[in-house]
Amino acid sequence: MKMIAVMSPKGGIGKTTTADSIAYILGEEHGKRVLVIDGDAQGDTSRTFGEYEPEGIGMSELLERHINVGGDYKTSELIKATRYKNIDIIPANGYLMRTDMFLLMKQEENQVTRLRDALHEVADAYDYCICDCGRLLDMIVINILLATELIIAPVKVGGYENDALYNLAEQVEDLRRMNPDMRIKVVMTMRQKNKTSLEVEEWLKKSSGFDVFKTPIRRSIIAEKASMAMKPLPEFSKRGIVTQDYKEIVAELIGEEKRTGGSR
């Protein structure tokens, strides 16, 4: 199972749209078995896939009450089937903030590897696991990153966003001691065909020092409309320009997977 996390410390740059679109295209258009993990207490990804429950079980129980740590839940009991044939989800809700505090107070080595350990149970059942991270490097996100092979980092035009990208890289470097396989790949989002956007895109690809997806994600009001409809963008707008961009991103991911010999 290939683990992919989508993360950025900045909001409003298409993080959740990116995670949900990649998961949808992999599952619905490429027939891959996909497990989605909602790692954000806002639960937007859970809403998108129709499995948000304010009082429901999911990520909090996985991290607090898994049988690996003396609890009463198996991973398989916390996975919900979605309305999409090849896509399942471990949902999240506001209780995830409590889970962060719970893990912070634990003085145990496994407080940051609980997700990785719990996912071993279902690793053979899925081709990909796509994780939508919250913006903060809290205990939830640390658990996700320590289980992850690839971090997709969305970035849009703006100096603060670029600073956030470098901050993310520094944070990842600190965690690499526990997960040396983790790497970052940048995707430019909300790209417009103007001089500033094109200059930033060129800088990202040629001078930033980051690995960058060839395909930028263009700006479109359709992405916002899809969020309001609580549907994955590629389902809401099957032929839209942003959907085509995400299809190219997924093609890059699959192509890279084939070149490197598949997931572990």
pLDDT in tens, 58-99: 999 999 999 999 999 999 999 999 999 999 999 999 999 999
Task: Give the chain's residues under pLDDT 50.
Answer: 263-264
Spatial distance between the Cα atoms of 250 and 105, rounded to a whole number of angstroms? 38
Q: Which of 54, 64, 58 is nearest to 98 (CA)?
A: 64
| pTM: predicted TM-score of the whole model, two decimal places | 0.92
User: Cβ distance 52 to 91 under 8 Å?
Assistant: yes
Q: Specify the pLDDT at position 263.
A: 47
Q: Specify the pLDDT at position 191.
A: 80
For domain 2-260, is the CATH number 3.40.309.10? no
User: Cβ distance 36 to 132 under 8 Å?
Assistant: yes
pLDDT in tens, 184-213: 999 988 787 777 777 777 877 887 788 999
Domain boundaries, the chain: 2-260
